[in-house]
C-alpha cells in the first residue's frame, strides 16, 4: 500500500521500519533535511534510533506534502505540541479515501483536544477515517523486533482492521477497539503518572510507593476517561494499564527518566536541555490537569505533578500533600 509516515523520531522511524520489513515502501517525513539524507545513505537514524539498521524499503523525504500526497494511509508520529502545525500543512494532500492514523500521545494545551479531535477539526472530510494507535511500545524495542502488542482504536471498524492488518507482524500484534477517547486519554495520562513514579524511585521511596502510584494513577485516569465518555474496560487493556505499567517501570521511558532525575534533585530545565527526544508528560501535566479542572474530576497525582513542574513545588511537599489527603474508600459494595 501507499503509506506515509509523518515524523522521523524514534516511534515514527520504528513504524516505518516495521512497514518496510513487511514489504511496503513507506515514505518517511523527516523534519531535519540532514536526517533524511542520513537515512537514505546510511540506512540508520543516528539521531533517534542509533545503532538500529533500518530496512531498505524506507523512502525518507524532507517534503511534507510529498509524504502525504497520494497515500492510502498516513500515520502521524510527531510530538503533540507540533501536531496541529504539521497536520495543517499535510491536511490538504490526502486523497479522499485516505485513512489518517495518529501515533501521537498527547492533548493540546490550549484547546484541550486530543489528536484525533484535532484531525477531525482540520480534515472534516476524513473525520470517519481516523484511527489511533496506542499501547505499550518503546520504539527501540519495536525496531529490535521485540514482541509487542498495541491497540488500534477507531469508530470505523474497517479502518481499524486495515491498520491492524498492515501493522501486524510475527513480532508486532495489533488489537482493535472502538473507544477513541479511552485510547487517547490512557496514552496521555500515563506520561504524567510515569513522571510521578520516576520521582518516587529517584527519591528511593521503595517498590510499595511505585505500585501505589501506578494503581492510583490508573484510577484517576479512568475517572477522567469515564467522565468524557470512554469505556472503562479500555483502561484495563493495552492502551490503559499496559501502557501505564511500561512507562512507569521501563528504563527506556523518557517520562520516567525525567521524574527519576527530579527525584534525585536535578533541575527540570537542565534535565530537558540534556534530552534529544520529547518527554510528553511535561506538557501533558498541564493539559491533563486543565482538562480535569474543566470536567471537575479529581486527579490528585496529576495535580501534584502539575504544581511541581509549573509552580515549583518541592517533591517532598507534593508527596506530603498526597499522603495527607482525607481518607476515603477505594471500593465499597
Q: What is the CATH number of the domain that holds 68?
A: 3.40.50.720
pLDDT band, residue 108 (cuts 50/70/90): very high
Question: Could you give the C-alpha distances from 116 to 25, 119, 132, 207, in angstroms and in order?
Answer: 25, 5, 7, 36
Residues 169 and 77 in one domain: yes
- Give the pLDDT band (50/70/90) at residue 94: confident
**What mean pLDDT value characterizes the chain?**
96
**Does 195 share its domain with 314?**
yes
Residues 206 and 126 in one domain: no
Q: Examine the domain organization and report whether 120 and 216 are in the same domain.
A: no
Give yes or no: residues 277 and 309 share one domain.
Answer: yes
| 113 labelled catalytic | no
Q: Does a structural domain hold residue 258?
A: yes
User: Would 330 be classed as within a structural domain?
Assistant: no
> Looking at 69, 113, 190, 283, which residue is catalytic?
190
Domain end (from 178, 199, 230): 178
Instruction: Give the end of a domain, one of 149, 178, 207.
Output: 178
Q: Please indicate, yes or no, whether residues 27 and 139 belong to a single structural domain of this protein.
A: yes
What is the CATH number for 203? Answer: 1.10.1040.10
Domain end marker among 178, 203, 223: 178
Instruction: Identify whether residues 146 and 7 lie together within a single domain.
Output: yes
Please give the pLDDT value at position 93. Answer: 66
The verdict on 165 and 195 lying in the same domain is no
> Quick check: is 331 in a domain?
no
Look at residue 184 and tell me if it is in a domain.
no
One domain for residues 229 and 156 = no
Is residue 45 one of the residues assigned to a domain?
A: yes
- Interval 309-330: pLDDT, tens: 999 999 999 999 999 999 999 9
**Position 7 in a domain:** yes
Range of the domain at 210: 190-323
183 within domain boundaries = no
Answering whether pTM is above 0.75, one says yes
Q: Is residue 328 part of a domain?
A: no
Residues 230 and 303 in one domain: yes
Same domain, 11 and 117: yes
CA-to-CA distance for 15 and 185, rounded, in angstroms? 21
70 and 213 part of one domain: no
How many domains in the chain?
Answer: 2
User: Using one digit for the tens of pLDDT, what is the confidence trace for 125-178?
Assistant: 999 999 999 999 999 999 999 999 999 999 999 999 999 999 999 999 999 999
Residue 331's pLDDT band (cuts 50, 70, 90):
confident
Amino acid at each position: 500500500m501507499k503509506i506515509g509516515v509523518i515524523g522521523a523520531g524514534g516511534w515514527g522511524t520504528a513504524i516505518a521500519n516495521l512497514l518496510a520489513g513487511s514489504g511496503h515502501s513507506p515514505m518517511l517525513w523527516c523534519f531535519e533535511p540532514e536526517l533524511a539524507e542520513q537515512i537514505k545513505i546510511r540506512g540508520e537514524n543516528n539521531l533517534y534510533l542509533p545503532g538500529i539498521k533500518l530496512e531498505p524499503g524506507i523512502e525518507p523525504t524532507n517534503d511534507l506534502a510529498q509524504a502525504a500526497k497520494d497515500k492510502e494511509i498516513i500515520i502521524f508520529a510527531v510530538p503533540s505540541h507540533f501536531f496541529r502545525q504539521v497536520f495543517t500543512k499535510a491536511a490538504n494532500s490526502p486523497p479522499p479515501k485516505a485513512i489518517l492514523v495518529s501515533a501521537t500521545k498527547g492533548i493540546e494545551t490550549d484547546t484541550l483536544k486530543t489528536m484525533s479531535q484535532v484531525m477531525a477539526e482540520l480534515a472534516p472530510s476524513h473525520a470517519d477515517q481516523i484511527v489511533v494507535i496506542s499501547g505499550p511500545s518503546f520504539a527501540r524495542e519495536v525496531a529490535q523486533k521485540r514482541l509487542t502488542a498495541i491497540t488500534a482504536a477507531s469508530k470505523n471498524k474497517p479502518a481499524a482492521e486495515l491498520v491492524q492488518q498492515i501493522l501486524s507482524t510475527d513480532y508486532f500484534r495489533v488489537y482493535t477497539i472502538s473507544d477513541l477517547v479511552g485510547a487517547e486519554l490512557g496514552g496521555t495520562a500515563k506520561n504524567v503518572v510515569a513522571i510521578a513514579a520516576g520521582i518516587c524511585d529517584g527519591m528511593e521511596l521503595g517498590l510499595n510507593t511505585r505500585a501505589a502510584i501506578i494503581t492510583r494513577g490508573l484510577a484517576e485516569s479512568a475517572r477522567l476517561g469515564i467522565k468524557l465518555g470512554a469505556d472503562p474496560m479500555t483502561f484495563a487493556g493495552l492502551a490503559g494499564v499496559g501502557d501505564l505499567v511500561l512507562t512507569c517501570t521501563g528504563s527506556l521511558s523518557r517520562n520516567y527518566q525525567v521524574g527519576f532525575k527530579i527525584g534525585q534533585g536535578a533541575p527540570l530545565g537542565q534535565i530537558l536541555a540534556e534530552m534529544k527526544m520529547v518527554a510528553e508528560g511535561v506538557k501533558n501535566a498541564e493539559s491533563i490537569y486543565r482538562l480535569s479542572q474543566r470536567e471537575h474530576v479529581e486527579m490528585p497525582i496529576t495535580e501534584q505533578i502539575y504544581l511541581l513542574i509549573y509552580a515549583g513545588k518541592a517533591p517532598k511537599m507534593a508527596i506530603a500533600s498526597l499522603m495527607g489527603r482525607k481518607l476515603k474508600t477505594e471500593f465499597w459494595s
